[in-house]
Amino acid sequence: MPLAASDPSGDITPMLAMDLTGRRALVAGVADDAGYGFAIAKALAEAGATVCVATWPPALNIFMNLLERGKLDESRRLGSGKLLEFERIYPLDAAYDTLADAPEDIRNNKRYREVGDFSVDGLASRLASDFGTPALDIIVHSLANGPEVKKPLLETSRAGYLAAVGVSAYSLVSLVNRLGALLRPNASVLSLTYMASERVIPGYGGGMSSAKAALESDTRTLAYEAGRKWGVRINTISAGPLASRAASAIGIIERMVQYCSVNSPLTSELTPMDVGYTAAFLSSPLAAGITGTTIYVDKGYHAMGMAPSAVG
């Protein structure tokens, strides 16, 4: 029951509470404790949700070993002192809608063949088997991959471009399509985008800027279509750059972080939990009126039209 407080008029009004108790979340794209996906999972758990995660098969064994050996215990510690526990950990390669879509060499790869159906369809089937239907209240899409991200767009191959868009953008469409029927009333779907969708970020190549633009456009369209079909809300968070292990593939991530810090209205460090807390809010009933929207969590960098460092 929410606490009460007096407003200036003397009336008693309830205080707001962000309570996700009884809600189940799936965070797709967690393989360590360094990225935004893990921070979102932790914030959701802090608010009372139970959390399942989906992990890329080549990283699954390493992630499981880190958990079992206690290497992530400190980062898993919640405000209550308890550790963040994952209700389920599923294999997921979001490049494949069905297992049949995966090439034979992938299906027979030692890192894939023992995990079962790692496709989006397989994930949906496992969730339904484990929890029944409906099963989910929150879906978080923290998936991105650009095999040619270090190449300028002019030098990006068709295969590299399509791979970036497929995993980083179309996978959201696939997840909503296949998991939509598993969602409970008033569910929330979130993804993570980046400002390269609308402005040039030299060095962020390989079609990733195009993928993020597609992701934001799809967020708006899916918000309409899935909202009318299932009553679900769909938003995306445009987060500032983070020097996570995954982002190290970009090659210039440290410079990106430093540049944004120097040239943002707020020069304090952007932390993963800044994004995590925003995700928890957007997943809560407090955000019941927000859908089809890109929310910026970047210390205000997106608002700048000229770098302060250019004028001294």
- Per-residue pLDDT tens over the stretch 253-295: 778 778 888 888 898 889 999 999 999 999 999 999 999 999 9
CA 119 – CA 14 distance, rounded (Å):
45
Active site residue 204: yes
Active site residue 170: no
Which element (helix H / strand E) includes 42?
Answer: helix 36-46
Q: Which two tokens stand for residue 236?
A: 């995306």
CA dist 25 to 51, 127, 141, 267, Å?
Answer: 5, 11, 11, 32
∠254-258-262 over CA atoms, to 5°?
A: 175
> Which residue among 194, 224, 277, 296 is the active-site one?
194
Task: Look at residue 2 in the predicted model and tell me its pLDDT.
Answer: 45
The HSE-up count of residue 88 (CA atoms within 13 Å, CB side) is: 18
Kindly give the residue spans of alpha helices, DSSP state H, lying in 85-235: 104-107, 120-131, 158-165, 171-179, 208-230
Q: Which two tokens stand for residue 197?
A: 């969708």
Task: Look at residue 6 in the predicted model and tell me its pLDDT.
Answer: 44
Q: Where are the domains of the chain?
A: 18-310
> Which residue among 204, 277, 296, 301 is the active-site one?
204
For the residues 56-73, what does the mean pLDDT come to?
96
Q: What are the pLDDT digits (tens) for 224-260?
A: 999 999 999 999 999 988 766 665 666 667 787 788 8
CA 191 – CA 194 distance, rounded (Å):
10
Token pair 């996906």 in the structure block, residue: 37
Class of domain 18-310: alpha beta
pTM over 0.85: yes
